[in-house]
């Protein structure tokens, strides 16, 4: 028997989530959203439990998780930074913003800083094109950025 | 909560509401009913519309100006967020762009109190269908 | 209360700014003060009027006089004639290009009628979290009318007559879609609202949901009534938390008012709405993929037929429309099909919302009647190109669309014209590009997007687009050959011809349209190893002109990779092997010694 | 039936409504190439994701080319299957696939048997006009199956088999776009998954992405070792399919040639798994009757129905997915393992050879057998009862490698004592065969009467789930049969829900039973081949003089000399097994 390592209350919380969706397999994506809300990411163990609760194969769950860019199997930083790469942001210099974040945080896109504070990701269009280029820190939107403003944003969360 | 059970119900509610709104507009006491709409879509909020809205609510209260401050959706002027529309009683609405706390302050002091326009008006460039 | 009798509004937009609007403002203020009118007349700067071609602009309030191309030298005449004597300065008035008459009151200027807000009618007007404000603007009147005065078939006929076509990109006639779904026999049917706006650079659906969620709810219920469905689903991007919140509030309020739920408006009609969340997959904008995603599966499209109208969500007949399409519905019902079909062009009725972005002054959400030209949108609404740069192209239709150029500026925008020009309507993103944008890089940018968003199911999209992207990458690095350009064209055609879904079938459009319109730029990248926009780093070389270099060491000190050497007061040189082309030296050099080749 | 007319390549033809362009073309002799499409008519299994886009054709009036595999014919449709637009598109698509495919065909285990390779040959591809990144993945070697997914072309056939037919759910498309590939959860190796090693994924893979673990070299080495006595056993389904590898018509029985070939390969003794199949009937039949009679006598502690246990894919399946029901299947080991156990005890003693020096090789239509023979419970002091299990395909390779002209071989017999078998044993190779064999023996043992009719037609066929009631001289015995694990799942769920009224159920993991096993010559989508093999199996049974297991003289002798009685103590030790709970448990870690 293989064992899965998660704390008891988290498992219960997860099972409750599944139950709140009547353990229906059609609700998989909703369940995954909630699960990512609880754990911050979707480790293999969480996917195993969801598969079991919804009576679907783990491969199916993983197939779905790995399909959608919103889901991640890696823990994000305390302050996840997402840089919008929509067209509007692209033509207004989003690439330079990415370069600056990479330089300031000394990590590549998809990585988390050693202290676990920041992680860097790219996303497609948050629909705030009027403010391009745009960056999200957690849920907060920062717009009209220039490479110079990167340091200030990082400083705001470094305290 | 009102349940709308029929078309007649719906029309009654509407008339009521419209009555209230025109009452607002044609009030005998115009100073007390300045209307302020803050565009609170993602773009607006991201550029600080929430703080601006809170400022208006608190300051108008403090400064004893009776006004209705409401949120609304995107006015379309994304380049100039946060945007705020001010309607003084009996006058055409005026949209201000790039409204931060300072700008909001001068809007209250100059425009709302004195009818003096403030820099940064966004000319309305569209027609909206009337209902 | 009004302290001032008159206001002079001077456009302070970027374009007007460039044409000395600031000096104009100062001049006006000075003269007003000189004349002692400063207690009666206020001069203020405003945001852009959007009419930058004719800037700088001065508007006199309250009489709405609109002066165009005003120079500082005109200031005195305006004040002395108009303000003091009350006589309008005719030569500065806007000249109606058709009637050749001067227009004195700006309310009569065609320009103000360029935009007509139908789908956006309530955005920026009502409080989206207050159902009463929606009702006071005739909200739910259309639903009530349908339920109590019309049969489903009558509503469908009305929709068909209105000429409304799907606003999500495909342009399928909405009424016809409803009719097909209504004719599918099934105990359960679904109304789905596609709010998975994934087109980078388009955000009208988000704005509508954030600004006027009830219009979508009402329209979905009307659709449910027509097709015989009592279940509605909104498939919405998880990246739109505010829209989700507003929609949830709206649904709750509608339920409390009995406008959703059982026995709506005292009739036997039941309808309710649930939310389903997207999870970051552009392909889920395609309706079959969207349905699979709602079923908890990978968002892979399947072949049509069967169409969702026949077999959709859990194999039940499903009507999928996008947010903007739905937002038009209640107005059409209220004002009638004739009213609606009178707006727009012959085959494309009504208005279209565009998200205007990129190198344009007035970035924002606009709504124009179908048939408006690109020129009107870019120069009269969008305020022209930023920083006085030269217009190069406008990209419509997102990753499925193409780049249109100067020669397309006077093309009326509608579904068919855009396709004929090698682009498409898409969901309405409109990205304006200027001379600093490299067209090969733009094509590469879109292909990078498609490669990342391809679901991987069919070969042409999975591997073909990857190869397209690789060839484009090769070109931008200066390693391309003329055969590569041919290969791009041929492969693009095969991908269009063979890909499984709409995403794949349209993904080569950015490549084809840029090759069509900017072949010389492609060729330059190959034969001259040159990128005229200066965007392709690999093709750039930063060098120092010895004659201009004074040896201040600023460049060397700021070079992040120590590629610059030279003694203080001596001539500096850049080691091309090491240079990463970041441009820091160029920025820091005060003597114009650093140049890009 | 409503018919419609279409114009295909300038020929007006009439087809039934609902026919696809591909089907219509085939009917009128037009071969449209396909890659992802797979239709096993006789098994009602179809894979048509319309993903590869090789089968595109031009339909007049349509903007894009249409995939023939899923596009239904419409009245008046004008189709062109081979104009320049179509040919250019197909070739480009094929080149795209090849541009993301290793070009090591010469050393690929699918060389000469690869659908992609044949297509490149047919299309006359001489140059790949696209070059670029190729997807690379870690190779995954499990006890039975090798996944070399660099060679995956995303046809999704394996995924369909694993999920829709077998409902095992190990494989799924993962990631997206260029990175997408079919893999187990978390892209872990198969041996970390609930894979049953049924090998149906391998059986349908058009390329070398999924292949069996090859033991031919190990067998050659053992045969060359002078210290070893090497014996071989061949499963019943092998003889009905091996000929295909040598160009013989599907359904050609090659029992005699196969025995001859094995002898020429150098095996010291050429035996038959069929012998062990007869032994299985003795053990399993006895267990069935024991459970049945106890049940009839009111013993509620006895679980019924009894389920067959000869199929290792099936055993893996219930250990992973229905562990709580692991007391229901018969405890009898599979014929392969019974053979091994007898060979390494009874026969080793007879030869006076130490078990370590006796090498048992099995030739199986199956890949799960490779896993089964490695199970710890089938080893004594680390030495397995069966040393190597090779597939029908591997045997063909061995024969070819050792320069044996198979088709010219004489017909030879198996050796004694472990080579003698009855007709009952032969039919183990097809769905319904094990239970029919069991019925033949159980009937006579239970009733004490001779069967009037040995053929139980009611138990035969290809329907996925079959049921029949056999009259045991007044006692109605309810029999269920399922092949394909998805159908097994349905029966198990019925049992779990208490809805099942069967006394005995036969389950085979592979559609068709062992004749359709994962180790058989590749059918490349032609399911009539599987039917032909089934026919051959029944023909062999009919040709046998002895057709009931309990009448096999060598089995009688084995019990007399060695085992004592069926389900006796020694049998229990050598011929029975127990099952494990292999489900993942969620245990709490604070």
Residues A83 and A154 in one domain: yes
Q: How far off is chain A from D135, nearest CA to CA, in Å? A: 16
A–B: how many Cβ contacts below 8 A?
Answer: 28
Q: How far off is chain B from A60, nearest CA to CA, in Å? A: 34
Q: How far off is chain C from A36, nearest CA to CA, in Å? A: 11
C-alpha span between D555 and D545 (Å, rounded): 15
What's the complex ipTM? 0.91
Residues C143 and C289 in one domain: yes
What is the reported pLDDT for C42? 85
Q: State the best of C200, C204, C298, C299 to mutate against chain A, taking most chain A CBs within 10 Å.
A: C200
pTM for this structure?
0.90
Contact between chains at C496 and D154 (C-beta distance less than 8 A): no
Q: Which residues in chain C are contacts of B125 at CB distance < 8 A? A: 49-50, 111-112, 114-115, 381
Closest CA to B91 of B30, B32, B47: B30
Tell me the pLDDT tens digit for each residue of C510-537: 999 999 999 999 999 999 999 999 889 8
Residues C195 and C313 in one domain: yes
Domain membership of residue C508 (yes or no) is yes
Could you say which DSSP state residue C202 is in?
A: -
Tell me the pLDDT tens digit for each residue of D92-124: 999 999 999 999 999 999 999 999 999 999 999
- pLDDT average, residue stretch B110-128: 83
Question: How many CB atoms lie under 10 A from the CB of residue C573?
Answer: 15
Task: List, as ranges, residues 100-129 from B with C-beta within 8 Å of C.
Answer: 114-123, 125-129
Contact between chains at B74 and C211 (C-beta distance less than 8 A): yes
pLDDT greater than 70 at residue C112: no
Determine which of C126-130, C196-200, D218-222 has the lowest per-residue pLDDT on average: C196-200
Phi, psi of D220 (to 5 degrees): -60, -40
Q: Which two tokens stand for residue C98?
A: 């058709």
Domain membership of residue A1 (yes or no) is no
Closest CA to D369 of D286, D428, D326: D428
Residues C232 and C371 in one domain: no
Determine which of B112-116, C113-117, C436-440, D191-195 has the lowest per-residue pLDDT on average: C113-117
Q: How far off is chain A from C434, nearest CA to CA, in Å? A: 10
Contact between chains at B79 and A128 (C-beta distance less than 8 A): no
Share of chain C above pLDDT 90, in %: 63
Numbered residues of chain B with Cβ closer than 8 Å to any chain A Cβ: 42-43, 45-47, 77-79, 81
Physical contact, D and C (3 or more Cβ pairs within 8 A)? yes
* Confidence category of residue C6, pLDDT binned at 50, 70, 90: confident
Q: Which residues in chain A are contacts of C455 at CB distance < 8 A? A: 67
Peptide bond into B82 cis (omega under 30): yes
Q: Which two tokens stand for residue D410?
A: 């004489």
The answer to whether C140 contacts chain B (CB < 8 Å) is yes
Residue A102: give the domain boundaries.
79-158
What is the reported pLDDT for A2? 43
Q: How far off is chain C from D133, nearest CA to CA, in Å? A: 8
C-alpha span between A122 and A136 (Å, rounded): 10
Residues A12 and A57 in one domain: yes
Question: Can you give the C-alpha Rg of chain C in angstroms?
Answer: 28
Point out the domain boundary residue: C411, C434, C457.
C434
C-alpha span between D548 and D439 (Å, rounded): 9
C-alpha span between D249 and D290 (Å, rounded): 43
Domain membership of residue C345 (yes or no) is no
Q: Which residues in chain D are contacts of C466 at CB distance < 8 A? A: 100, 132-133, 177-178
Domain boundaries, chain D: 3-98, 100-127+138-212, 216-575
Q: Please, is D569 exposed, middle or buried when counting C-beta atoms within 10 Å of its C-beta (0-12, 13-18, 19+)?
A: exposed
The H-assigned helical ranges of D309-463 are 312-321, 335-342, 348-351, 368-372, 392-401, 423-426, 433-447
Number of independent structural domains in chain C: 5
CATH number at residue A113: 3.40.30.10
Domain membership of residue A138 (yes or no) is yes
C-alpha span between D348 and D339 (Å, rounded): 12
Domain membership of residue A102 (yes or no) is yes
Task: List, as ranges, residues 432-491 from C with C-beta within 8 Å of D.
Answer: 451-464, 466-467, 470, 487, 490-491
Physical contact, A and B (3 or more Cβ pairs within 8 A)? yes
Contact between chains at A128 and B42 (C-beta distance less than 8 A): yes
Domain membership of residue A115 (yes or no) is yes
Residues A137 and A93 in one domain: yes
- If you classify domain D100-127+138-212 with CATH, what class do you get? alpha beta
Contact between chains at D169 and A58 (C-beta distance less than 8 A): yes
> Coil, helix or strand for D4?
strand
Phi, psi of C337 (to 5 degrees): -65, -35
CATH number at residue C379: 3.10.20.600
Taking CA–CA distances from D49, the nearest residue in chain C reads C302
Q: How far off is chain A from D369, nearest CA to CA, in Å? A: 22
Domain membership of residue C123 (yes or no) is no
Q: List chain A residues with pLDDT less than 50.
A: 1-3
Mention every residue, 6+ apart, whose C-beta is less than 8 A from residue B52: B38, B82, B84, B99, B100, B101, B104
Contact between chains at C45 and B118 (C-beta distance less than 8 A): no
C-alpha span between D571 and D260 (Å, rounded): 32
**In Å, how far from its chain's centre is CA A1?**
31
Domain membership of residue C467 (yes or no) is yes
Question: Can you give the C-alpha Rg of chain D in angstroms?
Answer: 25
Domain membership of residue A2 (yes or no) is no
**In Å, how far from its chain's centre is CA C530?**
31
Q: Would you say domain D3-98 falls under CATH 3.10.20.740?
A: yes
Q: Please, is D490 exposed, middle or buried when counting C-beta atoms within 10 Å of its C-beta (0-12, 13-18, 19+)?
A: middle
The answer to whether C217 contacts chain B (CB < 8 Å) is no
pLDDT greater than 90 at residue B65: no
What is the reported pLDDT for C91? 87
- pLDDT average, residue stretch C450-461: 96
Residue C428: give the domain boundaries.
351-434
CATH number at residue C482: 1.20.1440.230
Residues A104 and A53 in one domain: no
pLDDT greater than 70 at residue B26: no
Same fold, D100-127+138-212 and D216-575: no
Tell me the pLDDT tens digit for each residue of C234-279: 999 988 888 999 999 999 999 999 999 999 999 999 999 999 999 9
C-alpha span between B22 and B24 (Å, rounded): 5
The H-assigned helical ranges of C89-203 are 131-136, 141-149, 152-162, 174-183
CA distances to A137, C188, C307, D2 from C184, rounded to whole Å, are 47, 10, 11, 21
Physical contact, B and D (3 or more Cβ pairs within 8 A)? no
Residues C377 and C406 in one domain: yes
Closest CA to D56 of D38, D47, D68, D64: D68
Catalytic (active-site) positions of D: 284, 287, 310, 330, 369, 372, 377, 514
Taking CA–CA distances from D183, the nearest residue in chain A reads A59
Which residues are bridge partners to C432 per DSSP?
C358, C394
Q: Would you say domain D216-575 falls under CATH 3.40.50.1780?
A: yes
Domain membership of residue A3 (yes or no) is no
Of D354 and C59, the structure prediction assigns the larger pLDDT to D354
Contact between chains at A127 and B42 (C-beta distance less than 8 A): yes
Domain membership of residue C124 (yes or no) is no
Residues C199 and C284 in one domain: yes
Q: List chain D residues with pLDDT less than 70.
A: 585-590
Tell me the pLDDT tens digit for each residue of B68-78: 898 998 888 88
Mention every residue, 6+ apart, whose C-beta is less than 8 A from residue D80: D8, D9, D57, D58, D60, D86
Residues C194 and C279 in one domain: yes
Residues in chain A: 159
């Amino acid at each position: 028997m293989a064992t899965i390592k998660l704390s008891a209350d988290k498992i219960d919380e997860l099972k409750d989530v599944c139950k709140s969706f009547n353990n229906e397999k059609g609700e998989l994506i909703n369940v995954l959203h909630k699960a990512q809300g609880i754990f911050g990411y979707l480790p293999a163990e969480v996917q195993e439990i969801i598969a079991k609760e919804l009576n679907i194969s783990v491969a199916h769950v993983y197939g779905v998780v790995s399909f959608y860019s919103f889901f991640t199997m890696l823990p994000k930083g305390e302050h996840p930074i997402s840089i919008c790469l929509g067209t509007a942001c692209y033509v207004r210099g989003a690439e330079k913003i990415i370069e600056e974040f990479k330089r300031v945080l000394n990590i590549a896109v998809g990585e988390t800083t050693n202290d676990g504070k920041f992680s860097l990701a790219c996303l497609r269009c948050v629909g705030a094109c009027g403010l391009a280029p745009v960056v999200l820190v957690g849920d907060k939107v920062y717009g009209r950025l220039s490479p110079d403003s990167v340091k200030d944003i990082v400083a705001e969360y470094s305290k | 909560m009102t349940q709308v059970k029929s078309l007649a119900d719906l029309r009654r509610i509407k008339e009521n509401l419209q009555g209230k709104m025109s009452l607002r507009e044609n009030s005998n006491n115009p100073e007390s009913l300045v209307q302020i709409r803050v565009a609170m879509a993602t773009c607006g909020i991201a550029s600080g519309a929430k703080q601006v809205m809170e400022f208006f609510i608190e300051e108008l209260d403090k400064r004893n100006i009776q006004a209705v401050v409401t949120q609304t959706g995107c006015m379309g002027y994304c380049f100039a967020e946060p945007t705020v529309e001010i309607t003084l009683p009996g006058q055409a609405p005026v949209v201000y762009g790039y409204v931060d706390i300072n700008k909001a302050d001068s809007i209250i002091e100059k425009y709302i109190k004195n009818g003096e326009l403030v820099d940064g008006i966004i000319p309305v460039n569209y027609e909206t269908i009337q209902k | 209360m009004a302290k001032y009798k008159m206001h002079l509004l001077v456009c302070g937009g970027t374009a007007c700014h460039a044409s000395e609007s600031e000096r104009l403002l100062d001049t006006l203020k000075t003269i007003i003060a000189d004349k002692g009118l400063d207690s009666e007349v206020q001069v203020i700067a405003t945001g852009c009027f959007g009419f930058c071609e004719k800037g700088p602009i001065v508007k006199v309030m309250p009489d709405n006089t609109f002066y165009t191309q005003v120079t500082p030298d005109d200031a005195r005449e305006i004040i002395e004639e108009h303000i003091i004597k009350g006589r309008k300065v005719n030569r500065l008035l806007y000249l109606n290009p058709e009637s050749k008459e001067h227009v004195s009151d700006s309310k009569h200027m065609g320009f103000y009628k360029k935009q007509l807000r139908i789908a956006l009618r309530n955005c920026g007007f009502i409080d989206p979290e207050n159902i009463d404000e929606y009702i006071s603007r005739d909200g739910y009147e259309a639903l009530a009318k349908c339920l109590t005065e019309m049969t489903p078939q009558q509503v469908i006929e009305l929709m068909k007559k209105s000429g409304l076509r799907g606003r999500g990109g495909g342009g399928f006639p909405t009424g016809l879609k409803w009719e097909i779904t209504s004719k599918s026999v099934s105990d359960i049917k679904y109304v789905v609202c596609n709010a998975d706006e994934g087109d980078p650079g388009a955000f009208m659906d988000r704005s509508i949901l954030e600004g006027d969620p009830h219009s979508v709810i009402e329209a979905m219920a009307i659709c449910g009534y027509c097709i015989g469905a009592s279940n509605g689903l909104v498939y919405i991007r998880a990246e739109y938390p505010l829209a989700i919140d507003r929609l949830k509030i709206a649904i709750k309020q509608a339920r409390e008012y009995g406008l959703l739920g059982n026995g709506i408006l005292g009739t036997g009609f039941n309808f309710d709405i649930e939310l389903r969340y997207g999870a970051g997959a552009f392909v889920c904008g395609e309706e079959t993929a969207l349905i699979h995603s709602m079923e908890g599966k990978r968002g892979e499209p399947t072949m049509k037929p069967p169409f969702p109208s026949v077999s959709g969500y859990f194999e039940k007949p499903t009507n999928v429309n996008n947010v903007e399409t739905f937002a038009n519905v209640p107005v059409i019902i209220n004002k009638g099909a004739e009213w609606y079909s009178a707006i727009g062009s012959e085959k494309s009725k009504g208005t279209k919302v565009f998200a205007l972005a990129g190198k344009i002054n007035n970035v924002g959400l606009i709504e124009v009647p179908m048939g408006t030209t690109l020129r009107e949108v870019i120069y009269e609404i969008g305020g022209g190109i930023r920083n006085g740069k030269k217009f190069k192209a406008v990209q419509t239709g997102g990753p499925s669309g193409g780049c249109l150029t100067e020669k397309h500026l006077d093309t009326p925008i509608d579904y068919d014209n855009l396709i004929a020009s090698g682009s498409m309507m898409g969901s309405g993103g409109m990205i304006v590009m200027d001379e600093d944008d490299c067209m090969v890089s733009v094509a590469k940018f879109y292909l990078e997007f498609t490669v990342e968003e391809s679901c991987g199911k069919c070969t042409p999209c999975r591997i073909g687009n990857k190869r397209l992207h690789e060839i484009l990458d090769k070109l931008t690095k200066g390693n391309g050959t003329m055969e590569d350009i041919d290969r791009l064209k041929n492969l693009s055609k095969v991908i269009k011809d063979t890909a499984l879904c709409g995403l794949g079938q349209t993904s080569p459009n950015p490549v084809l349209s840029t090759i069509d319109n900017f072949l010389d730029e492609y060729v330059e990248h190959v034969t001259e190893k040159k990128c005229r926009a200066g965007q392709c780093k690999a093709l750039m070389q930063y060098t120092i002109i010895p004659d201009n270099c004074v040896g201040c060491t600023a460049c060397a000190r700021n070079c992040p990779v120590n590629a610059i050497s030279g003694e203080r007061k001596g001539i500096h040189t850049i080691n091309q092997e090491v240079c990463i082309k970041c441009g820091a030296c160029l920025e820091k050099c005060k003597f114009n010694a650093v140049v890009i080749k | 039936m409503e018919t419609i007319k279409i114009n295909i390549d300038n020929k007006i033809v009439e087809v039934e409504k609902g026919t696809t362009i591909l089907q219509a073309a085939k009917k009128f002799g037009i071969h449209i190439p396909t890659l992802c499409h797979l239709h096993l008519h006789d098994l009602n299994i179809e894979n048509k994701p319309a993903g590869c886009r090789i089968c595109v054709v031009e339909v007049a009036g349509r903007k894009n080319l249409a995939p023939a595999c899923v596009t239904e014919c419409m009245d008046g449709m004008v189709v062109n299957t081979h104009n320049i637009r179509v040919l250019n598109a197909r070739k480009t698509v094929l080149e795209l696939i090849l541009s993301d495919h290793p070009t090591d065909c010469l050393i690929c285990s699918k060389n000469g048997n690869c659908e992609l390779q044949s297509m490149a040959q047919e299309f006359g591809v001489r140059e790949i006009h696209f070059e670029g990144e190729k997807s690379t993945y870690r190779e995954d070697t499990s006890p039975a199956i090798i996944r070399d997914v660099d060679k995956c072309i995303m046809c999704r056939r394996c995924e369909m088999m694993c999920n829709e037919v077998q409902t095992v759910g190990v494989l799924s498309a993962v990631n997206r776009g260029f990175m997408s590939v079919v893999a187990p959860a978390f892209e872990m190796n198969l041996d970390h998954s609930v894979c049953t090693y049924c090998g149906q994924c391998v059986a349908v893979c058009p390329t070398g992405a999924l292949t069996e673990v090859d033991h031919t070299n190990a067998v050659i080495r053992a045969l060359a070792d002078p210290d070893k006595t090497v014996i071989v056993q061949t499963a019943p389904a092998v003889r009905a399919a091996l000929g295909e590898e040598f160009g013989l018509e599907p359904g050609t029985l090659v029992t005699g040639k196969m025995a001859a070939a094995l002898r020429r390969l150098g095996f010291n003794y050429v035996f038959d798994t069929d012998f062990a199949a007869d032994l299985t009937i003795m053990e399993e039949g006895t267990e069935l009757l024991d459970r049945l009679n106890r049940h009839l006598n009111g013993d509620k502690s006895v679980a019924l129905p009894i389920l067959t246990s000869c199929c290792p894919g099936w055993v893996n399946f219930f250990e992973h997915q229905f562990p709580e029901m692991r007391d229901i299947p018969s405890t009898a080991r599979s014929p392969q393992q019974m053979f091994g156990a007898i060979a390494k005890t009874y026969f080793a003693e007879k030869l006076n050879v130490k078990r370590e020096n006796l090498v048992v090789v099995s030739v199986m239509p199956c890949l799960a057998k490779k896993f089964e023979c490695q199970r710890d419970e089938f080893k004594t002091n680390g030495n397995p009862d069966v040393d190597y299990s090779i597939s029908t395909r591997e045997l063909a390779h061995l024969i070819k490698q050792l320069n044996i002209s198979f088709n010219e071989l004489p017909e030879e017999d198996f050796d004694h004592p472990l080579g003698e078998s009855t007709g009952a044993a032969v039919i183990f190779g097809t769905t319904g065969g094990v239970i029919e064999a069991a019925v033949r023996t159980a009937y006579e043992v239970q009733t004490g009467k001779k069967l009037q009719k040995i053929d139980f037609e009611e138990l035969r066929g290809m329907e996925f789930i079959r049921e029949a009631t056999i009259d045991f001289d007044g006692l109605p015995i309810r029999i269920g049969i399922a092949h394909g694990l998805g159908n097994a799942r349905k029966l198990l769920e019925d049992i779990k829900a208490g809805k099942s009224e069967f006394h005995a159920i036969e389950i085979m993991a592979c559609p068709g039973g062992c004749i359709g096993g994962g180790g058989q010559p590749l059918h490349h989508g032609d399911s009539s081949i599987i039917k032909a093999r089934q026919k051959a199996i029944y023909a062999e049974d009919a040709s046998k003089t002895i057709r009931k297991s309990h009448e096999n003289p060598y089995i009688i002798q084995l019990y007399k000399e060695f085992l004592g009685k069926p389900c006796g103590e020694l049998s229990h030790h050598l011929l029975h097994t127990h099952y494990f709970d292999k489900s993942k448990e969620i245990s709490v870690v604070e």
